[in-house]
Amino acid sequence: MITRHCAMHTDAVSQHWFSFDASQGLPMIKTFSAVPVLAALAALVFAVPGTAGAQSAAQTAPAAQAAADGPLVLGAPRNTTEVSYDDITATVRPWIMALPGVRGVLSVDGSPNLLRVIADRTYTVNLEQVHARLNVAGADRDEEYGRFMSAFQNTLAANDPFKPEAFRTILRPTAAIDEFEIITGVNGVRNVVVRREILPGIEEVVVAEQRTSIAFLPAARLQDLGLTVDGAFLLGRTNLLDVARTATWAEEDGIRIATIDGVFEPSLMVVDPLWEQLSTDMGGPVAVAVPVRGRLLVARADQPEMLARLKTRAAAESTGDLAISPLVFVRTADGWVVAP
pLDDT at position 16 is 30
pLDDT at position 19 is 30
β-bridge mates for residue 76, sequence order = none
How many other CB atoms are there within 10 angstroms of residue 138's CB atom? Answer: 6
Q: For residue 325, which of 137, 175, 154 has the smallest C-alpha distance?
A: 175
pLDDT at position 25 is 34
240 three-class SS: helix
Average pLDDT for residues 3-7, to the nearest whole number? Answer: 32
Q: How much of the chain exceeds pLDDT 70, in percent?
A: 76
Q: What is the pLDDT of residues 240-275, one digit of tens each?
A: 999 999 999 999 999 999 999 999 999 999 999 999
Backbone angles phi, psi at 317, to 5 degrees: -90, -15
Distance, CA of 41 to CA of 58 (rounded, Å) = 5
Q: What is the pLDDT of residues 119-163, one digit of tens each?
A: 988 999 999 999 999 999 999 999 999 999 999 999 999 999 999
Q: What is the pLDDT of residues 205-228, one digit of tens each?
A: 999 999 889 999 999 999 999 999
pLDDT surpassing 50 at residue 58: no
Band of pLDDT at residue 198, cut at 50, 70 and 90: very high
| Domain ranges (residues) in the chain | 9-158, 248-340
pLDDT at position 338 is 96
pLDDT at position 40 is 25
pLDDT surpassing 50 at residue 50: no
Q: What is the pLDDT of residues 288-316, one digit of tens each?
A: 999 999 999 999 999 999 999 999 999 99
pLDDT surpassing 80 at residue 14: no
Cβ 194 vs Cβ 230: under 8 Å: no
pLDDT surpassing 60 at residue 1: no
Average pLDDT for residues 186-196, to the nearest whole number? Answer: 95
Average pLDDT, the chain: 81
Backbone angles phi, psi at 217, to 5 degrees: -80, 115
pLDDT at position 130 is 96
Average pLDDT for residues 75-104, to the nearest whole number? Answer: 88
Long-range residue pairs from 131-137, CB within 8 A, at least 24 positions apart, any chain: 131/83, 131/85, 131/88, 133/22, 134/79, 134/83, 134/88, 135/79, 135/82, 135/83, 136/79, 137/79
Residues in the chain: 340
Band of pLDDT at residue 74, cut at 50, 70 and 90: low
Cβ 120 vs Cβ 160: under 8 Å: yes
Q: What is the pLDDT of residues 24-48, one digit of tens each?
A: 333 322 222 222 222 222 223 333 3
pTM for this one? 0.75
pLDDT at position 212 is 87
Distance, CA of 62 to CA of 42 (rounded, Å) = 14
β-bridge mates for residue 99, sequence order = none
Please spell the DSSP secondary structure of 105-118, one letter per residue. EEEETTEEEEEEEE
**Ramachandran sector of residue 93 (left: φ over 0; alpha: ψ -120 to 50; beta: rest):** alpha
